């Protein structure tokens, strides 16, 4: 690969669909190209809120580029948010993830009205064949769509990227009212319990882009440089833990206890904990300080706040350097934070719920731990048996290749868009009404 191509890859630039052949095979690429032929020239608008979940932003960046490569005029627009709206959006997402939130009429009005921002975005647009809403914050846009002249013939789709199986019931019911107004709804496939209506639902699992900055190949020299910049010794094993935004601290406690137990048997063990979340989020600050307190005076632990300028290339380097990755959640939701190191053939220790969501077999694709003690034991066994760690890592990479690469998402989108294009749909989206 020439210098220009390397630079393009570092920026996440995809010049042709053929670049994915080495990842997914020629047949898959040809099937995608054939599927896209009837859709060439179609216009699709993808909308997300600001701030959006990092994984959603990464997916939209890749998906928009790929849709363009197959001949679809794809746009991605971000609907700006004001400070008072952001607080309401945070509460909404907390409720979706299972936390209790007191949802007031004022919060509902703020969420629904969006200060007119979505209307401005759409009223300045030309006609679209498809409009995809990617955040729960914007689901109520269908209320405004009934009087936006230029969207009368568009097919509306809501792509729900969250596991809503434990959503607060009143919030789930609220979103259901508006979800029913869409022509199709894309689910991430994690709704095992009673929840949103299955009406017009299309299930697509999360995905990662193997050609994005977070997943491209990096040289060992570069990886070592990044580690040293963050005070880590490249010669000693590293355990990587990503603290998800708003993750239950009891989960974090089990992870830290597991690391400390493992360190008793492997004294040189290091922990790199990445704390995700927004820089101005009080809960993120609380999680960061609680994690630091739990680790105490452990000199081989590094806490890195992703909000403090840690970029995708650095995260890529951290994942490649990890001897073991810890991704423990009580939800079955599949996060890109686990798919990325699996693609890099890193052995991952997960909880039973995450393993179930992945459809991954314990001991072949991932390692499952049910307690802090078991987590510590698994860390030690993987470090002391490199052949076992390598076998599990290779199994993980192949699992992601088959089920969770961005080309699979592209194929699913093209299938859905063709289905909608071939059907008679309402010429306007009905405005939802609250009782």
Task: Name the 3-class secondary structure at 44.
Answer: strand
DSSP 191: -
State the DSSP H helix or E strand holding residue 120, giving kind and residue range, or none if neither: helix 117-123
Instruction: Read off the tokens for 403.
Output: 């089920």
Contacts 24+ apart (CB under 8 A), 94-98: 94/246, 95/167, 95/168, 95/171, 96/136, 96/162, 96/164, 96/167, 96/168, 96/171, 96/172, 96/175, 97/162, 97/163, 97/166, 97/167, 97/246, 97/331, 98/166, 98/167, 98/168, 98/331
Q: Is 116 helix (H, G, I), strand (E, B) or coil?
A: helix
| SS3 (DSSP) at 203 | strand
Predicted confidence at residue 248, as pLDDT, reads 61
pLDDT in tens, the chain (435 residues): 444 443 344 445 567 899 999 999 999 999 999 999 999 999 999 988 876 666 788 889 999 999 999 999 999 988 888 888 888 888 888 888 778 899 999 998 888 776 445 555 555 455 788 999 998 888 887 766 554 444 457 888 989 887 777 788 999 888 888 888 888 888 876 554 445 555 556 788 889 999 999 999 999 999 999 999 999 999 999 999 987 665 566 677 888 899 999 999 999 999 999 887 665 566 666 767 777 777 878 899 998 887 667 888 999 999 999 999 998 776 666 778 899 999 999 999 998 888 888 888 888 999 999 999 999 999 999 999 999 999 999 999 999 999 999 999 999 999 999 999 887 544 434 333 322
Domains and their CATH numbers in the chain: 3-210+405-421 (3.40.50.2000), 220-403 (3.40.50.2000)
- Residue 221 CB coordination number (10 Å): 7
DSSP notation for 211-237? TSTTTS---HHHHHHHHHHTT--TTS-
What are the residues whose beta carbons fall under 8 Å from the beta carbon of 317, sequence distance 6 or more?
A: 218, 222, 223, 226, 227
Helix (H, G, I), strand (E, B) or coil at 89: helix
What three-state secondary structure class fits 190?
Answer: coil
- Supply the pLDDT for residue 84: 82
47 with 138: CB under 8 angstroms? yes
Helices 386-403, 336-343: axis angle to 10 degrees equals 120
pLDDT at 4: 40
Residue with tokens 């934070």: 337
Residues, the chain, total?
Answer: 435
The pLDDT of residue 225: 96
Q: For residues 15-51, b (16+ Cβ closer than 10 Å) or e, as one string?
A: eebebbeebbeeebbeebeebbeebeebbbbbbbbbb
């Amino acid at each position: 690969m020439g210098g220009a191509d390397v630079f393009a890859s570092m920026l996440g630039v995809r010049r042709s669909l053929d670049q994915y052949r080495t990842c997914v095979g020629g047949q898959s690429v040809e099937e995608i190209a054939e599927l896209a032929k009837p859709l060439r020239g179609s216009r699709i608008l993808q909308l997300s809120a600001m701030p959006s979940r990092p994984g959603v932003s990464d997916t939209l960046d890749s998906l928009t580029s790929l849709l363009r490569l197959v001949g679809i005029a794809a746009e991605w627009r971000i609907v700006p948010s004001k400070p008072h709206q952001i607080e309401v959006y945070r509460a909404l997402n907390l409720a979706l993830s299972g936390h209790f939130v007191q949802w007031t009429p004022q919060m509902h009005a703020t969420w629904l009205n969006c200060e007119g921002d979505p209307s401005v975005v759409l009223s300045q647009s030309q006609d679209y064949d498809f409009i995809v809403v990617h955040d729960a914050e914007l689901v109520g846009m269908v209320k405004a769509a009934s009087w936006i002249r230029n969207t009368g013939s568009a097919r509306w789709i809501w792509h729900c990227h969250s596991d809503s199986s434990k959503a607060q019931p009143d919030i789930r019911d609220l979103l259901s009212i508006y979800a029913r107004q869409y022509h199709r709804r894309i689910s991430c496939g994690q709704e095992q319990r009673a929840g949103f209506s299955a009406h017009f639902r299309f299930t697509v699992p999360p995905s990662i882009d193997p050609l994005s900055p977070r997943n491209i190949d990096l040289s060992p020299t570069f990886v070592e440089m990044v580690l040293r910049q963050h005070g880590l010794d490249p010669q000693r094993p590293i355990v990587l833990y990503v603290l998800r935004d708003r993750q239950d601290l009891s989960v974090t406690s089990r992870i830290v206890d597991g690391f400390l137990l493992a360190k008793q048997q492997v004294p040189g063990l290091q922990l790199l904990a990445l704390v995700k979340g927004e820089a101005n989020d009080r809960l993120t600050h609380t999680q960061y300080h609680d994690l630091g307190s739990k680790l105490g005076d452990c000199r081989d632990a590094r806490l890195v706040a992703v909000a403090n300028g840690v970029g995708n290339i650095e995260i890529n380097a951290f994942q490649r350097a990890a001897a073991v990755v810890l991704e423990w959640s009580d939800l079955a939701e599949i996060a890109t934070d686990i798919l990325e190191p699996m693609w890099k053939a890193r052995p991952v220790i997960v909880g039973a719920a995450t393993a179930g969501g992945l459809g991954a077999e314990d001991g072949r694709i991932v390692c499952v731990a049910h307690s802090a003690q078991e987590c510590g034991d698994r860390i030690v066994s993987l470090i002391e048996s490199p052949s076992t760690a390598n076998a599990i890592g290779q199994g993980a990479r192949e699992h992601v290749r088959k089920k969770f690469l961005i080309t699979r998402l592209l194929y699913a989108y093209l299938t859905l868009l063709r289905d909608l294009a071939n059907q008679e749909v309402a010429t306007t989206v009905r405005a939802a009404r609250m009782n």
